[in-house]
Amino acid sequence: MLHLIREEKRFLVQARLQAMYLYKSGQEQDYAAIGKQVGYERHTVGKWFSLYDQQGLASSNPELNPVERFWRDMKDKAAFLNFKDEQELEDWITATTKNYSHEQIASLTGYQYIKNAMQQLIFDMESS
């Protein structure tokens, strides 16, 4: 699991994943100690965990909730459209989502590092 965290190129995502790993693995329970290891203040780490408790894996964070990339793509398509009412918007959403191929959806939502991290986490848990 740690090699996956180290391979992550985005520093903030790497820090959050490492913080979660330290906490969930039981290596650290103190936010100040976790913050020191990941390079952030304990208050920041506390905010991350508070958001995690409230929303799961940061519901609007595309790195942690891959469907957000799909919704962003939908929003980009709708950016300059005007709908006369909710029904027209709903019809457009239905038609547009049906036009996505499986490959397009997989491309928008398939973060390989999440798949790898989850597989490694499951393996680590089963091995303990």
> Is 6 within the bounds of a domain?
yes
> Dihedral sign, CA of 32, 36, 38, 40?
positive
Domain count, the chain: 1
> Is 34 within the bounds of a domain?
yes
pLDDT at 72: 84
Give the up-direction half-sphere exposure of residue 100: CA atoms within 13 A in the CB hemisphere. Answer: 18
> Is 72 within the bounds of a domain?
no
Q: How far does CA 86 lie from the centroid of its chain?
A: 29
**How many angstroms separate the CA atoms of 109 and 125, rounded?**
25
pLDDT at 30: 93
pLDDT at 52: 75
> Is 15 within the bounds of a domain?
yes
> Is 56 within the bounds of a domain?
yes
Locate all alpha helices (DSSP H) within 25-59, ordered by sequence.
31-38, 42-55
Instruction: Tell me which residue range forms the domain holding 30.
Output: 1-61
> Is 31 within the bounds of a domain?
yes
> Is 35 within the bounds of a domain?
yes
Mean pLDDT for each consecutive 10-residue tract of the chain (128 residues)?
A: 70 84 88 94 90 63 69 89 93 92 81 68 72
> Is 49 within the bounds of a domain?
yes
